[in-house]
Amino acid sequence: MQARMKNPAFVLADAMKGVGSLIKAINQGGLPQELQEIVGLRASQINGCSACVHSHTQNLVKAGADSERIATVAAWREAPFFTDAERAALNLTEAVTRIADRSDEAVSDALWDEVADHFDEQELSALILVIGVTNMFNRINATIKEPAGTVWG
């Protein structure tokens, strides 16, 4: 399998600078790296982005994440391997990623309150940005048919 073209974030140099700035800000937000990867994995599963599913899974493996947690991200509601904070983050991830599937508000006040109970403003900012950046790359990769296992750059 081969992508239709090189990733636009690398074709347009200023785009990658912007992405790099976002990632730097996310990493300063205090959100644990493992949670960033779990959230990225879940959004990527929903969007069917094989390149990002592969990348987030590999990052979790390299970081020493428990294999049961990695294997059950797609079924997190029924899996006992996630904390209440992680469940809130995954719930937010699904709501934001599936905005078009909702006829009411994308993120209910109840969900917002649940997430805000677990994360301070900086962590919540990082979480929202992780979800947004992941969704952006999922859509780019779906458009160019980026295959799993791609090394970017």
3-state secondary structure of 109: helix
Domains of the chain: total: 1
pLDDT in tens, the chain (153 residues): 899 999 998 899 899 899 999 999 999 999 999 999 999 999 999 999 999 999 999 999 999 999 999 999 999 999 999 999 999 999 999 999 999 888 788 899 999 999 999 999 999 999 999 999 999 999 999 999 999 987 655
In a domain, 19, yes or no: no
The whole domain housing 40 covers: 31-144
Query: Residue 97 sits in a domain of what CATH number?
Result: 1.20.1290.10
In a domain, 110, yes or no: yes
In a domain, 138, yes or no: yes
In a domain, 39, yes or no: yes
The tokens of 69 are what? 């947690």
In a domain, 57, yes or no: yes
Which amino acid, 35?
L
Give counts: helices (H), strands (E), the chain.
8, 0
Closest alpha carbon to 141 in 46, 70, 44: 44
In a domain, 100, yes or no: yes
Residues 21, 64, 152, 86, Cα dihedral to 10°: -50
pLDDT digits (tens, 9 = 90+) for 32-57: 999 999 999 999 999 999 999 999 99
Regarding pTM above 0.85, the answer is yes
